[in-house]
Amino acid sequence: MTRIGAAQTDDERPGTIDAIPVRRPGRIVAAVVAGTIGALIIVQLIVNPAFDWAFTFEAMNQSAVIRGFIFGTLTATVGAMILGVALGVGLAVMRMSENPVLRWSAGVYIWFFRAIPRYVLLLILGAAGAFAVGGLGIGIPFDREILALFGIDGTMRIATIDLNKLSTTIWMAILGLGLSEAAYMAEIARSGIMSVDKGQWEAASALGMSNGETMRRIILPQAMRVIIPPTGNETIAMFKDTSLLSALPLATEMFFQFRMIGTATYKLIPSYAGATLYYVITATVLGIGQSWLEKRFGRGYEASDAKQRRKTKVAVDPDSNSLRFAGADH
């Protein structure tokens, strides 16, 4: 045991330290201001007749609203995020490719869809029927013109999509939101991939793994700790952005139903309060799930200070009242 210094006598020991806590008036002022504002808001929510809470809860329990929440809002959120994540990862790989065509194509896509607002994009998709009055044909391009050269009046289309019918469905909602989300997910995925040490690529290559296997089995699992937090934020933002689907319009979406109820009953504020409760509760649940995923994928990377460095523990020897370092040589 290594001893630090000799035992001190009563006269040599320092006296009691009269510690005066530091006064922090700013905290008290901030607490008073925040408490006052919070109390005013709560009082308004309770006594203001504009907030008809009985009507709000009644509107929240309407079957059309519940169906809109499940089959409209949640479905659009899940579908758009699946499309956005899948397409975004592909775009991220293209951005990092040595092929200039792939790299520039991904860059143009990201530039365009980050530049256009989602509401404007949904308005354009909602009016997509005007771009193809006869429907969107799938087949050989310029089929009518080619057949006309041989005196044949017909088409060589495999199928025709009626954009007027498709533009107001959940599929167009997923497409519009997913295409926009992919531009943001591409940058998120690219930052996560770049956070992985290049030695991982070299080690996988030395083991004979292909680029696809390396990305799928080595790089992406390690990049998830960087990708998960912003992806969780994007998911919550996507859930809220489903309220923009009225631009299509998507009549089966939850907020659309709340707005229709408020317009029909002239009780817009209670109806919007019900929509707000749906958004707040669901966003809270999504935030809890995001926190769990962050801890799940962050295991092994966020070491505590005790694991990062050895702490020196100081203890008192009860026999001699001297100090010693815990873990020191005896």
Q: Which backbone phi and psi does 92 adopt, to 5 degrees?
A: -65, -40
Q: How many residues does the chain have?
A: 330
DSSP three-state, residue 259:
helix
Range scoring the smallest mean pLDDT among 38-52, 63-77, 159-173, 254-268: 159-173
Instruction: Write out the residue range of the structural domain in which residue 222 sits.
Output: 26-127+167-300
Bond prior to 249 in cis (omega within 30° of 0):
yes
Q: What angle do CA 31, 32, 34 make, to 5 degrees?
A: 65
Residue 2 within a domain: no
Given a cut of 50, whether residue 25 has pLDDT beyond it is yes
pTM summary value: 0.76
- Crossing angle for the helix pair 53-60 and 254-265, to the nearest 10 degrees: 140
Q: Are the CB atoms for 118 and 180 separated by under 8 Å?
A: yes
CATH code, domain carrying 205: 1.10.3720.10
- Answer with the residue of higher pLDDT: 278 or 10: 278
Residue 157 within a domain: no
Q: How far is it, in rounded angstroms, from Cα 293 to Cα 234? A: 14
Q: How far is it, in rounded angstroms, from Cα 58 to Cα 267? A: 12
Q: Which residues pair with 315 in a beta bridge?
A: 324
3-state secondary structure 4-67: ECCCCCCCCCCCCCCCCCCCCHHHHHHHHHHHHHHHHHHHHHHHCCCCCHHHHHHHHCCHHHHH
Residue 5 within a domain: no
Residue 296 within a domain: yes
Residue 118 within a domain: yes
Domain count, the chain: 1
pLDDT, mean over the chain: 82
Q: Which residues pair with 138 in a beta bridge?
A: 159
Note the pLDDT tens digit of each residue in 89-141. 999 999 988 899 999 999 999 999 999 999 999 998 888 766 665 666 676 77
Q: How far is it, in rounded angstroms, from Cα 177 to Cα 118? A: 7
Q: How far is it, in rounded angstroms, from Cα 2 to Cα 329? A: 6
Residue 185 within a domain: yes
The answer for residues whose C-beta is within 8 angstroms of residue 156's C-beta and 6 or more apart is 139, 140, 143, 146, 147
Residue 35 within a domain: yes
Q: Are the CB atoms for 319 and 308 separated by under 8 Å?
A: no
Residue 323 within a domain: no
Note the pLDDT tens digit of each residue in 143-175. 777 777 777 777 777 777 777 777 788 999 999
- Answer with the residue of higher pLDDT: 330 or 251: 251
